[in-house]
C-alpha cells in the first residue's frame, strides 16, 4: 500500500500532547503520567494485556514510583522487532505546568517550565501506535518503551533488563528538539574544565593594572559560541556551570575578578539531516539499520 497517503491526525496528536503536558510527573514520580499514557494507548486500541511495567524501580538506587512502561505491538507482517523509546519524566521545574495554546505554539503559563521534554516523545509514541492501528498499517513487531528517571541520570534505561525488550534489533529514541530530525550514531559527550587566572587590582584605584578573569572567560565563551555557530549544527554548546571563583566576600566586591572557573559540557551527535516529509530517506535508514541488526 502507499503509506505516503496516510495522514496523521494532527488535532488528536495535539490533544495527546496537551493532556500529557498537564499531568505532573517529575523525575522519579512517573506513576500518574504512566497511567495517562497507558489510558491513551488503550483508547487507541492497544489491549491492556499488551501494556506492562518492568521492575526497574526496584533496582534504581533512588526512590522511583514505578518501573518503565513497556508496550508490545504484535507484528502484522513478519520482520525483526523495532523499538521506539522515550522518557516519561520531566525536570522538577515543570511541576504543576498548565499548558495553553498561544497562536501556533503551546506554552506554559509562565510560572513553571512546560515539559515538552519529553511529553512530546510520549505523545509521538502514542500517535505512532494510534496511527498504525487506525489505518491497519502493516508493521513488524514493535516495542514501545517509556522510561522513568531519565532526567536524573538515565536510570530507567541504565537499569533496564534488555530481555524485557523482546529482542528488538534497532531502537529509535524520541527525545528533544525537532522530531523530524533523525540522528544516527556517534552520540557522546565532551567535557572540559577551565580555570582562568587573571590579575587582581582594585577597580576604583588602578583598574588598568588588573586583568579580569571574567572578561577573559567572556571572550573565550564568545569564541566557543562563534565556533558553534559556524559548525553545521548550531546551539549544542552549552556552558553548564559558570562559577566565579575568587573575589568572593564583601570586602572584595569592587575588585577585578582574578580567577574564573567554568565547566563546559558538549553533546555530540551525527545528524543525517532528514527533514519533514523525507519518508524515503527515513525508510532507507530504518531498513539499513534493520539489516545491520539482523546481520549481527
Ligand atoms: Zn529528554
- Of 113, 126, 91, 109, the C-alpha closest to 19 is 126
- Is the model's pLDDT at 246 over the cut of 50? no
- CB burial string 80-110: b at 16+ within 10 A, e below: bbbbbbbbbbbeeebeebebeeeeeebebee
Which ranges constitute the DSSP H helices of the chain?
10-22, 31-43, 56-59, 116-134, 155-158, 213-230, 279-295
3-state secondary structure of 241: strand
- The alpha carbon of 190 and the centre of ligand 1 are apart by a number of angstroms equal to 18
- The alpha carbon of 116 and the centre of ligand 1 are apart by a number of angstroms equal to 8
- The alpha carbon of 100 and the centre of ligand 1 are apart by a number of angstroms equal to 21
Q: What is the pLDDT of residues 63-78, one digit of tens each?
A: 999 999 999 999 999 9
- Of 236, 126, 224, the C-alpha closest to 181 is 236
Rounded to the nearest 5 percent, the helix, strand and coil shares of the chain are 35, 20, 40
Say whether 188-268 and 3-179 share the same fold.
Answer: no
* CATH code 3.40.630.10 for 3-179: yes
- The alpha carbon of 174 and the centre of ligand 1 are apart by a number of angstroms equal to 8
CB 138 within 8 A of CB 78: no
- The alpha carbon of 86 and the centre of ligand 1 are apart by a number of angstroms equal to 8
- The alpha carbon of 255 and the centre of ligand 1 are apart by a number of angstroms equal to 41
- The alpha carbon of 150 and the centre of ligand 1 are apart by a number of angstroms equal to 7
- The alpha carbon of 260 and the centre of ligand 1 are apart by a number of angstroms equal to 30
Spans of all domains in the chain: 3-179, 188-268
What pTM did the predictor assign? 0.69
Q: How confident is the model at residue 294 (pLDDT cuts 50, 70, 90)?
A: low
- Is the model's pLDDT at 3 over the cut of 50? no
DSSP line for 120-164? HHHHHHHHHHHHHHHTT-----EEEEEES--TTTSHHHHT--GGG
Strand partners, 87: 147
Q: What is the pLDDT of residues 9-52, one digit of tens each?
A: 999 999 999 999 999 999 999 999 999 999 999 999 999 999 99
- The alpha carbon of 15 and the centre of ligand 1 are apart by a number of angstroms equal to 20
Q: What local confidence, expressed as pLDDT, does residue 261 receive?
A: 72
3-state secondary structure of 34: helix
Alpha carbon dihedral 64, 66, 67, 71, in 10-degree steps, equals -150
Stronger pLDDT, 126 or 192, i.e. the higher one = 126
* CATH code 3.30.70.360 for 188-268: yes
- The alpha carbon of 122 and the centre of ligand 1 are apart by a number of angstroms equal to 11
Lowest mean pLDDT among 6-10, 66-70, 121-125, 132-136: 6-10
Amino acid at each position: 500500500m502507499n503509506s505516503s497517503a496516510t495522514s496523521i491526525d494532527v488535532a488528536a496528536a495535539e490533544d495527546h500532547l496537551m493532556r500529557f503536558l498537564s499531568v505532573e510527573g517529575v523525575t522519579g514520580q512517573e506513576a500518574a503520567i504512566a497511567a495517562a499514557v497507558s489510558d491513551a494507548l488503550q483508547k487507541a486500541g492497544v489491549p491492556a494485556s499488551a501494556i506492562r511495567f518492568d521492575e526497574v524501580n526496584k533496582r534504581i538506587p533512588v526512590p522511583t514510583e514505578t518501573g518503565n512502561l513497556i508496550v508490545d505491538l504484535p507484528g502484522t507482517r513478519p520482520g525483526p522487532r523495532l523499538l521506539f523509546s522515550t522518557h516519561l519524566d520531566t525536570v522538577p521545574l515543570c511541576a504543576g505546568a498548565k499548558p495553553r495554546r498561544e497562536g501556533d505554539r503551546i506554552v506554559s503559563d509562565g510560572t513553571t517550565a512546560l515539559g515538552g521534554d519529553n511529553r512530546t516523545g510520549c505523545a509521538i509514541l502514542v500517535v505512532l501506535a494510534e496511527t498504525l492501528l487506525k489505518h491497519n498499517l502493516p508493521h513488524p513487531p514493535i516495542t514501545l518503551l517509556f522510561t522513568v528517571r531519565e532526567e536524573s541520570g538515565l536510570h530507567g534505561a541504565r537499569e533496564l533488563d534488555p530481555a524485557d525488550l523482546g529482542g528488538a534489533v534497532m531502537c529509535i529514541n524520541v527525545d528533544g528538539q525537532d522530531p523530524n530530525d533523525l540522528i544516527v550514531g556517534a552520540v557522546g559527550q565532551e567535557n572540559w574544565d577551565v580555570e582562568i587566572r587573571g590579575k587582581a587590582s582594585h577597580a576604583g584605584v588602578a583598574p588598568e593594572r588588573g586583568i579580569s578573569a571574567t572578561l577573559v572567560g567572556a571572550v573565550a565563551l564568545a569564541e566557543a559560541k562563534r565556533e558553534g555557530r559556524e559548525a553545521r549544527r548550531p546551539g549544542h554548546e552549552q556552558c553548564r556551570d559558570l562559577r566565579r571563583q575568587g573575589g568572593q566576600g564583601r570586602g572584595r566586591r569592587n575588585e577585578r575578578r582574578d580567577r574564573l572557573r567554568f565547566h563546559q559540557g558538549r553533546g555530540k551527535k551525527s545528524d543525517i539531516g532528514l527533514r519533514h516529509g523525507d519518508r524515503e530517506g527515513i525508510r532507507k535508514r530504518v531498513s539499513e539499520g534493520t539489516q545491520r541488526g539482523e546481520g549481527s
